[in-house]
Amino acid sequence: MIGLFLISIALIGVPMATSIYGLIIPNGLLGFAIGMVDSSMVPTMAYLVDIRHVSVYGSVYAIADVAFCLGYAIGPALSGFIVHAFGFRTMLYVISFLSLCYAPLMLYLRNPPAREEKMSLIMNENHNSFSYIRSKSLDDENGY
């Protein structure tokens, strides 16, 4: 969530730069914020898979990788048309606004609902469990 807020701030700062030196702080902040979001996304997805589905991490990592690759493949091509139609400033302001609107939705990832059976395992509840215990033998006087 903090990363998305920082991305919004950095994207507002990029069109306000008047020289190449004015881009250092917004681009540095943008790189740091994107790193925050990227590095926390994969563990969050793995946690969601742990509590909601069968723990198959390869599929989750493949989905994340495809999302990144599609973003890097489609983004530059699509942004060319958007810049041509609306301008560079407008595009950055709209992306900043979308990022700012999307950030509060990250609060839903704090305590995601889990499936019932997963929650019982996480909370260490023994609903249908049994244990092996050593009992006295009926044949032996000592019980063993």
Spatial neighbors of 114 by CB under 8 A, at least 6 apart, are 51, 52, 122
The per-residue pLDDT for 132 is 54
The per-residue pLDDT for 136 is 59
pLDDT along the chain (144 residues), means of 10: 92 93 94 90 82 77 86 89 94 94 86 65 55 56 56
pTM of the entire predicted model: 0.69
Cα–Cα distances in Å, from 118 out to 10, 65, 90, 109?
40, 26, 46, 17
Residue type, 127: H
Task: Delimit the domains of the chain by residue range.
Answer: 2-122
